[in-house]
Amino acid sequence: MKQRKFINNTKRSFVVIGIITFIFAVLFFRLGFLMIVRKNFLVAKAESQSSYQQTIMPKRGSILDTNGQQLAVSGDVYKLSLDLFEVHNYADNKSRRTGDKPQEIVKDIADKLADILGKDKKEVEDFMEKKNDQGVYPRGLALARKIEKGQIDKIKELRDKNSYNFVIIENDTNRYYPNNNFLAQVLGGVDVDGKGLFGLEQYYNKDLTGVPGISISQVDRKSRDLPYSNQIYTQPVNGKDLTTTIDSRIQYICEKIAEKTMETTKAKGVNILVTDPKTGEILAMVNKPDFNPNDPKKGITDNNALFELWRNKAVNDVYEPGSTFKLVTMSAALEENLTYRDDKFYDKGYVIVDGVPINCWKEGGHGAENLVDLLKNSCNPGFIELGKRLGKEKMNSYIEKFGFGKQTGIDFPGEATGIVKSTSTMSNVDLATISFGQTDAASMVQLIGAINAVFNNGVYTTPHFMKNLSQVDTDGNRKVVATYEEKNSRQVISQKTANTVAGFLEETVSKGSGKLAYIEGYGVAGKTGTAQKANIGGKGYGKDVVASFIGGAPYNNPKISLLVTIDTPEGIEHMGGEIAAPVAHDLFDQIFRAIGYDPTKK
């Protein structure tokens, strides 16, 4: 009997030992799995639960005019995020103490935050119940951005009073445009995260943005900072400031004159571009209609309409320039010695090219003319003759030299390349119409670049906005870190040809079709244009036109050049010489007064 009992006890011992051994083996392998295979994951998870990492956004650099006036600045605001996991954890703990339902506690928190933020209570209540793809309440979900200091102070008071340790307050920045619609399409805009969407904000986004900083601190289970814990802190590097070539005095004048022109002509749009012809610096650029960059979507729900309004038409759009292009044809013919000042022409009112009649704008023609008369009278048949003498290859060669059919290199996103008929596909009729500004299409910046070459002794300069980039160091001292560098400078025509054409353009204003831009003693030189707008699909032309004027002053030592375009003006008067030249007159007069320059004094 004792023997049997001993055997049973021995078996029982082996079973117990076996079970214990099995349990220890499972624990050993589980521990090995956690310590070796899952080590990195668990360490990272532990660190994430015991530390809080905060990104410190840098301050976006300002955009300034050439004299340091602020055009776009960033203000300090705040972002409010919530740890929704801790929100519901807080509600559960409080519920056990007070007996209130957790849902009611969460609702109360939501309503208090909504009152301070001015948000819809239902919207905030719904926010509190958001879960991620795994069905878990997320930790650190943004509830509101761009919060002003007054509101954030109230939220801090609410947090401290009620021990709302799930409330996360971070610094944020907001972009302000202190002059509202002023220079709207040029400056552009940013998204909610401060990233440039269009305009100079987009082109110089990398320079303006800066480098974010970081703060890592140790926290307890309620996400509160632990006392005496080591904090890792990296200072953010603020973005660089962009100083532009824009002169706000000139820009203001152009804005007001463009608004007035929109009213008087009832046009679809008015665009004005003013530059320094010797450097290519853009002193002013206006696109009407415009918008307020502080609220760029106001009143517009259609995306196509929105993007159309945001477009900088002086850079992003092209049109057939019409007679303003004639300065290129004349420059090319003079440079190739194919004509001269007293060259004789006769305009009978039309020219037949390969059986196609091409009319002069003046019924019956201008009769006998010399070379200067062709510009003064804007005579299409005369320029058809110059184009014929040049031929297709030489014509396209000079079109390319003057910067058409390719990007100028302006520091602005989305620059249009224009349309230039290739030599191989150009017919004789094409050559004829190209010579006086139809068939090919160009942007405003391409045209201003071309006339600047004439005013700058035949040397091309790139139209541009950047003057320099600067940054304030830790001692508060401003340091210029980059300046604009001209990369496309080239001799397009000789100085002799350039000066001759500039003189012809002065006579065009003082004695010819541009006379409404004339100001005694100013030496205004320029050319008007009335370009028919091609029908949609490119087949033929409609009744709508773009009236324009391009020029500079004084012609023998120009301080400014400008281009005015008036898209689809209404009324009987629609020619460039009738409605664009007077605009140019007012621009020259007011701009020179504003900058304190008197062309009549030597």
Biggest CA–CA distance in the chain, Å, is: 147
Higher per-residue confidence, 602 vs 151: 151
Using pLDDT thresholds of 50, 70 and 90, give the confidence band for residue 192.
confident
User: Tens digit of pLDDT for each residue in 513-541?
Assistant: 999 999 999 999 999 999 888 877 666 78
Q: Indicate if the alpha-carbon torsion angle 89, 92, 97, 100 is positive or negative.
A: positive
Q: In this structure, what DSSP letter does residue 240 have?
A: P
The active-site residue, picked from 74, 223, 248, 323, is 323
Higher per-residue confidence, 427 vs 42: 427
Residues whose CB falls within 8 Å of the CB of residue 227, separated by 6 or more in sequence, listed in order = none
For residue 499, pLDDT over 60 is answered with yes
**Residue among 515, 533, 469, 459 at smallest CA distance from 491:** 459
* 3-class secondary-structure state, position 282: strand
CB atoms within 10 A of CB 465: 23
Please give the pLDDT value at position 226. 42
Phi, psi of 291 (to 5 degrees): -155, 170
Please give the pLDDT value at position 41. 56
**Residue among 318, 407, 334, 418 at smallest CA distance from 374:** 334
Higher per-residue confidence, 51 vs 448: 448
Rg for the chain, CA atoms, rounded: 36
Q: Is 140 exposed, middle or buried (0-12, 13-18, 19+ CB in 10 A)?
A: middle
Cα→Cα distances 60→45, 100, 239, 592, Å: 33, 46, 5, 35
Active site residue 323: yes
Higher per-residue confidence, 178 vs 11: 178
Higher per-residue confidence, 160 vs 283: 283
Please name each of the domains of the chain with its CATH number. 61-211 (3.90.1310.10), 248-292+317-594 (3.40.710.10)
Higher per-residue confidence, 2 vs 134: 134
User: Tens digit of pLDDT for each residue in 213-240?
Assistant: 776 655 555 444 444 445 566 777 889 9
- Residue 141 backbone class (left: φ over 0; alpha: ψ -120 to 50; beta: rest): beta
- Is residue 558 reached through a cis peptide bond, with omega within 30 degrees of 0 on the bond before it? no
**How confident is the prediction for the chain on average, in pLDDT?**
89
Please give the pLDDT value at position 534. 80
Phi, psi of 102 (to 5 degrees): -55, -35
